[in-house]
Amino acid sequence: MAESQHRSQHRSNSGSHRGRRPKRTIDKVRLAAFEAMSEITGQGAYANLVGPAVINHHQLSGRDAALATELINGTCRALGTYEMIIEEASGRDTRDLDPDVVDVLCLGTHQLLGMRTPPHAAIDTTVNLAGAVVGERVVGLVNAILRKITRHDLDGWTSILAEGLTGADELAVRHLHPRWIGHAYADLLPAEEVGPALAANNVAAVPTLVARPGLSTVEELVTAGATATGPSPYAASYKGNPADLLAVREGRAAVQDAGSQLVATALARAEAPDGWWLDLCAGPGGKAGLLTGLAAERDERLLAVEVAPHRADLVARTLRAHVTARPVTICADGTRPAWPQGRFARVMADVPCSGLGALRRRPESRWRRTPDDVTDLIRLQQDLLHSAVEAAQPGGVIAYVTCSPHADETAGVVEAVLAERSDLELIDAPSLLPEVTDAALGWYVQLWPHRHGTDAMFLALLRRRS
């Protein structure tokens, strides 16, 4: 299978396609989607960032904006699968095609197989797009490949691609995932849940709001039109634009997945001594915002740490609403402490990870990540957990958190650190979240989209002994 990562090495150095003059008349929606895909596959951009940017650039709104968003996110979500289908239909390796042609074909394939676009309309608009952004020389090729793709629906094509495969391999292909991710899920879930878990990643997450303690309440959000959703006691959902709510505009509430809320809540509920709290990897600030409010309820304060300057700035902006709580934000490396050791009552270590628990939010990431990415992160994750332990005072509690269910970067990291230290003990994390059922993984918490409607967050709680 051709990996979508390769395209940046073969694409011309022409840069962004914004502003290019098409030779054909083409609707702004398809052009915006193509420009976004070009940046995602050619420059490593993120769909959730570049998508809104190109939509705004083309001044799309309403149905057009929604259609462009679906074209971008839906194509990214099934990108590797669509490339395999294109190869099967054309008999050609996508690496032998112009990268722009591959992007155009993937957009057309999504319209044919992943949307309700009539086949003739999907082919006509895609051929028109190819002629406009690539040139007339590729029109016949694009037309021919798309017509061959119409021979089967998506289930038919994935059946062809999965022929001869069994178990996690077959489920991964049928549910539009790389096979290694299917195996990672199969290592953790009962066999009957692997398919539903993978399928849940193909359903866009509904934005969840957090009512930050001391600044707003779920009741205030409900009065403004939101709905209390749980399982977090601070969660609510809102069908409209969150910025329409006064509490969100003022920073007293924000968009935050309920899973992120729950791991912060568990840390706050654990028995611990009095003292400062530390958020070791705070960017972009969602958990820090919630932790600051929870600390203030105990008349305690939070130090938020972020290594990247632009993300540290985001954290500081997030915490501005907590005037009376007096949180502190610094830009520093969590593995090189710039703060007193052995001083913090509670430490949050939400470490950099593969992000396999947020695939429904980051549609392109499943095709960018590889098993090597997980391996490369493990040493950093262990170092950050060691640093978090050193920062905790005797009796202090450390939360090790990832937005990934992969065993190597979750339980594997915790157990490696436990084996190297004699001053740690595990806390029964599931017992601190009684409102969440079926999330216990031994003494750890593992959330899942298909079970809990949250990102697949992992939580381990540890106590530093004297």
Summarize pLDDT for 425-436 with one digit per residue, the tens.
999 999 999 999
227-228 β-sheet, strand order: 227-228, 235-237, 208-211, 253-255
- pLDDT-derived band at 200, boundaries 50, 70, 90: very high
The model's pLDDT over 228-280, given as tens digits with 9 standing for 90+, comes to 998 999 999 998 889 999 999 999 999 999 999 999 999 999 999 999 999 99
Which pLDDT score is estimated for 13? Answer: 41
Contact criterion met (CB below 8 Å) for 306 and 329: yes
- Give the mean pLDDT of the chain: 94
Its pTM stands at 0.92
Per-residue pLDDT band for 367 (boundaries 50, 70, 90) equals: very high
Q: pLDDT band at 340, cuts 50/70/90?
A: very high
- How far apart (Å, rounded) are the C-alpha atoms in residues 427 and 280? 20
Mean pLDDT of 94-99: 96
Q: Which residue in 106, 281, 353, 403 is the catalytic one?
A: 403
Residue in 169, 129, 126, 128 with CA at minimum distance from that of residue 149: 126
- 403 a catalytic residue: yes
Res 2: pLDDT: 43
Instruction: Please state, in angstroms and rounded to a whole number, the distance separating the CA atoms of residues 269 and 272.
Output: 9
Q: Which amino acid is at 118?
A: P
- ∠ CA 354-361-20, nearest 5°, is 100
Residue 443 has pLDDT above 90, yes or no: yes
pLDDT at 3: 46
Comparing 167 with 27, which gets the higher pLDDT? Answer: 167
Reading the block at residue 20, the tokens are 């290019």
Over residues 101-136, the pLDDT tens digits come to 999 999 999 999 999 999 999 999 999 999 999 999
Angle between helices 167-174 and 191-200 (to 10 degrees): 20
